[in-house]
Structure 1
Amino acid sequence: MKVRKIAALAVGAAMVGATMGFASAQANLPGKDFFVKDGQPNVKIVVGSQAAAMDVASAADIAVALGSLLYTEKEAEAAGVSVVVKKDLTPDYTYYIPVFSNYYADTGTNPSATAWDQLTDNWWNGSAYNGSYNDWLAWTPKFVDEVENMDAINGDYQVDWDFTISNIELSDSEQNTIVYVPRSADLTIPAGDFTVLLNYTIANWTYSETTPDDIWGNLSPSTTTDEVHDDDNPGGYTFSGYIYDGVGAGDTFTVLGNTYYILDVLADGIKYGHDHGQVWFHVGDVKEFDGYKIRAVDISVSPSNKALFEITAPDGRSDLVIISTDEGDVDISTKSDKFNPGEVVLKLDDTFVGIDGNLIAQLEVRTNVVEVHTGDELVSGWVVNFTIENNKVKWLTLTNANDLSGSTLDILGKYKMYYEVDSHTLETDDTTYYAAKAYIVVKPSEPIIQTEELKVGDEVSDTGWVVDQIKGGTYTEVTVMHPTEPITYLDTEIDPENIDSNLILVGGPVANAVTKYLVDNGYSKVDWYNSAGDIEYIEDYNGFGILIVAGKDRYATREAAKQLMEYLSNLS
């Protein structure tokens, strides 16, 4: 029997006359092939049959760490099925709201300010840079724009955001009352000065043009037609009927991205919520609606049609309510002080005896019902004004309920708005002149990216290009393997003179009989009786390798096991 190499790694104690830290000795540990082969364990973990429970736990931990190495890798070629293309739809502009300028190009007059606080008389007044700050405030509107197809009617996104910012105020830390142009400023859009119009009447607009033929003229004219669905006339088109003439009861629509299901259109607003329709109850039935549980406790058909229901809210609030068919819609908050208005609205349509002789209640259920009127906040922070005709909301406007303030303002999540100033000085004839141009910048806040998935034969939109083939690259395919044989053994199951696998021995010569054999026969060189925790690698023992993970007691063995687990984690 020939031992080609013995490497002992010191976790904390002296080893063969020298002390070596674990990190510096990791190069002497075996590579991944010692532990696994073809994704399967290539080693047996051996623990003493009479060992302490902590040694058994250490062996189990090593087995778990070894499991992270049980996989195979191979290079595979990706088969292309489709390709995703994208297009940047971000508006290609930055808008500048004029604020102040004493530049010669803007005023036709040489700048005359010899101090910054003299920059007072060149505010934009709506037509020229020759006003005061109050003139600039009076100029309105400050900003008008439209963002197309942002809200929906029954899932169809054709409603535009038409918004107007009437006024913007500046605030400057250097001056309580603004007189001269600020070097830097925060912005405020006062409450009521930001209006968004949402038009839910979407029309069909058509266009037709007849032109003479290049050869035959009016003997053979050609006609070009076009059709557009929009709330506004694109210009030169003819109204050809409505696609949507508003939204009414039963419609789902969105407002600034918030979804509402209309239960009813009121004189000056809407009632919205979740309509669960008509539901049948037998006595004892329990049914759930948006987290609210309704149980039919009792049903009566004579002398009046009524029923007793137990209503339980998602947070556990519960009460009994009696409803009769002659009450119509019943908000249960009118019958129980445990519920808030609109949480649950019930309507008992009928009670009767079924063909099986059981009593049945026919009930309409609505949850989270809210009434919103003109002047209320439909979306948090926005006061709504409804325009209603023929029981339909034709359009609505939203205005900001509170001041919107900050160094950078978020405009409906689509734009950012901030103050900016360019300034210059000129030294001439021992005099310093000041020039400044200030403006409010409005630019898209985030890129708008449209993606499209295409297959072979599809055309890339608006390009004329067709997908001819999709080539896939290569990638590493990882297959997780599962052990098919035991990996942990007792020392009594291993014949140290006839091993058939690499071994990891957990425990020193006192706890592990195989370790004792190697020590007694001179193969192990570590003084295990005094070791604070070591890992010893016997590289070639009858054609196999052996790792001894041990120490002077179970605690030292535990420390050595932790070091091996760390080493294994770096191999995966």
Structure 2
Amino acid sequence: KKIGAIAAGSAMVASALATGVFAVEKIGDVEGFKVIDNGEPTADIVVGSTAAAADVVSAANVAAKVGSMMFKEGEAASGSAKLTVKASAESDDANLKSLLTNGTNDFTELDAGKEAFVVAAADSDYSDALINATTGFANIADNVLYDQAKLAAAVSLGDLSTLSVVKDIDPSDWYADKNKAADVATKDYYDQDGDAVEMLMATVASNDDGKSLTVDEDGVLYASIAYDDDNEDFQRATQVLKEGNRLPFLGEEYALVKLDTDDDIVYLGKEVFDGVLKEGDTYNIGDGYELKVVAILKSGDEYKISLQLMKDGKVVAEKFDKVSATSALKMIYTPGNIGIVVNEAWENVGQDYGYGSTLITKDVIALELGEEYIPDWEVVTIEKDTTTDNTKDSKMTLSDDKITKDNTYGIGLQYVGDEEDNFKSGKAIKIAKYAELELDDEDKEDTKLNLFFSMDETKEATLAAGQKVTVLNSDITLSEVMADAKAPVAFKAPLAVLDTEVSLDAANKKLILVGGPVANALTKELADAGKIEMTVESPATLAVVAGAANGNDVLVVAGGDRAATAEAANALIEML
């Protein structure tokens, strides 16, 4: 009955608040009695178990008023903004008519089928270093992007400044540094401060007419490759990708969530959280999704973690697996495009709870080897020629059918569309809907046929306050959202409790007692102790008794009869 009366009473708040100004006697520091702190209620509201309905309604009205105050005011730190980034650039060009063979023939006049290879990167040092100064070829295995027997020239076109580079592929230092790549003969090295760089490569063949070229299937590549820090030599300085590494992909920064060697899929996601979660923690990912660290268990030197992914409070996916620096826990939830990596786990000194080093990503994309991610552009991984274990002598190869974890240095998109056999000045070949390969004869100048890469790209990025993203080689940080706002907090409005459910001796927060000594047992206890004085003649009263509830303050809302108690409750509501 009492519970029903409390619920019904909540619907009466509007009429109760419309009665105007109420006369009330105040005793103690009533104005200083705060019922909300940082959006949360600081007091329980107590009504007598034998109280009349009028007192129950008064308690419900006070509870409803307190509930309506449960928000935080200030600048909206949780705001977001959508930004549009536009960038355009051109690489250096190579005049194909000045590429001489045997000092006499320009490239375009060579026999049909003779090839020229060009490369550009986010930084010219990387494209320059891909060309082997000793051999004149690129450091690419034969018949991967060109036929070495047909190659007449290999040229670096320097930088295409709108291509992206990530300057720290391991921002949380998940993996231990090993020797620098240039100092070792094998693949056993890693650099926490390594870089990941976008590159474009293309091979064109002469049509022997001085004005047109052929671009074959498999002859154009977009690539994102990981390198040792400030070391641009592909043979000596590339490093194997690991889960959690950051790298650019088509102009945006992603985190590597998983190299799936069973289904040969590379999963990339955009960082939402990178830090430490404690056992029992729940992280709000957004869009109704939450990640809960259910348990972290230790058996000997091995740790296992139990995770639950929830959508609107319901578990939609869970994972229980071991975790270590050499075997990270990976969790992909495809319906929500969410990816999670836990790299390491440990316990506190007291061994009573655990922690996990956790990366949470959203907008996850799945790049399946051998499949077209964009029409005519097939997913490949960047590998090295494994005919030798000496990485100083190995060359770039591509895999379109199998992921080999210890031989994956990057990801790429390779052209698999129709052959373009009439590539002329004024035409452009779109590279993965991102960049272009162009020809320009400078208004049919007989001595000019310039080959170059270009970009004119627009991308949108949505950022939360304080978030940093890299888009089209620009670092963008949304420092703040300038707006005043009331941000709702996820708490239920407080309900009134009965005087039989709480005591002055055991209270863990402040109390608001509704009703006089006859109607409320706790009010009677204070009266019997001489801490308040109230009779049937008392007016509407708000009285604060400092420290009376186990060290917490008590506010008595009462009067000599039910009408006076209601008037006191309404006065409190007005005051709040």
- TM norm structure 2: 0.32
- Say which structure is richer in strand: 1
Larger radius of gyration: 1
